[in-house]
Copies of this chain bind each other. A is one copy, B any other.
Amino acid sequence: MTPLAALDYASVIVFAISGALAASRAQLDLVGFAFVACLTAVGGGTLRDVLLNRDAVFWIADPTYIVIACLVAAVVFFTAHLFESRQKALLWADAVALSVAVVAGAGVALKLGQPPVIVALMGVATGCFGGMMRDVVCNEVPLILKHGELYASAALAGPLALLLASHFELSRFLGFAICAIVTFILRAGSLAWGWSLPVYKSRPPKN
């Protein structure tokens, strides 16, 4: 298994958990759990593969990803009541998944020799799209839009760190690790201690 495939597997598992937790909040049945888990798990990578025009979407080339997402959905269906707060569990699963998926997106673009802007953007798109689909489909406000939180910013900082690491010719593995860690620290800091960037404040009353 290549490192990039391992990253795809890891992000599929954690995003599937976050999708299934969202399904539990929407009180769906077992098939509904599997549907939202699959959508969240493969959404970002599918967008990446379609945009980069790869030969085949990763989960069509290897359907194991779908089987895994369905198994995860089933496990969560029977165990979600064990979590003290499912919303909190969802947020942290999403943070881990974001960190891994950002690397999976930026890494593929880097390997295909795309220019830096596209590497950064593929990281952001792959990281954010699955969770965005989950929130739109489950009728929740997309996490990416909660103001006063780092989300897109965390997903952008990771790929930028990866590009820097690649510029200084660090090993690919080290670059991937740095990318995931930077993303996770920023997102976790935002969840745990309220880190944020200044948001736009309208001076005149909002219209």
A residues contacting B by CB (< 8 A) are: 23-35, 38, 46, 50-53, 55-57, 60, 63, 66-67, 77, 80-81, 84-87, 114-115, 117-118, 121, 124, 128, 132, 136-139, 141-142, 144-145, 147, 150-153, 156, 196-204, 206-207
User: How far apart sit A77 and B197, CA to CA, in the bound complex (Å)?
Assistant: 13
Shortest CB-to-CB span from A47 to chain B, Å, is 10
* B56 and A53 contacting across the interface, CB-CB below 8 Å: yes
* B28 and A200 contacting across the interface, CB-CB below 8 Å: yes
Q: Using Cβ atoms and an 8 Å threshold, which residues of chain B touch A117?
A: 63, 66-67
**Nearest B residue to A85 by beta-carbon distance?**
B207
* A147 and B28 contacting across the interface, CB-CB below 8 Å: yes
Q: Using Cβ atoms and an 8 Å threshold, which residues of chain B touch A137?
A: 132, 136, 142, 144-145
User: How far apart sit A81 and B206, CA to CA, in the bound complex (Å)?
Assistant: 10
- Report which of B34, B57, B202 forms a contact with A51, defined as CB distance below 8 A: B57
Shortest CB-to-CB span from A195 to chain B, Å, is 11
* B114 and A60 contacting across the interface, CB-CB below 8 Å: yes
User: How far apart sit A103 and B191, CA to CA, in the bound complex (Å)?
Assistant: 44
Q: Using Cβ atoms and an 8 Å threshold, which residues of chain B touch A35?
A: 124, 128, 144, 152
User: How far apart sit A138 and B153, CA to CA, in the bound complex (Å)?
Assistant: 17
* B206 and A25 contacting across the interface, CB-CB below 8 Å: yes
A–B pairs, 15, beta carbons within 8 Å: A24-B200, A26-B147, A28-B147, A29-B196, A29-B199, A30-B153, A30-B198, A35-B124, A35-B128, A53-B55, A53-B56, A63-B118, A66-B117, A81-B203, A86-B202
Shortest CB-to-CB span from A104 to chain B, Å, is 17
**Nearest B residue to A67 by beta-carbon distance?**
B117
* A60 and B27 contacting across the interface, CB-CB below 8 Å: no
Shortest CB-to-CB span from A196 to chain B, Å, is 7
* B26 and A156 contacting across the interface, CB-CB below 8 Å: no
* B57 and A153 contacting across the interface, CB-CB below 8 Å: no
* A121-B27 contact in complex given A57-B51, A139-B145, A145-B139, C-beta closer than 8 Å: no
Q: Using Cβ atoms and an 8 Å threshold, which residues of chain B touch A77?
A: 200
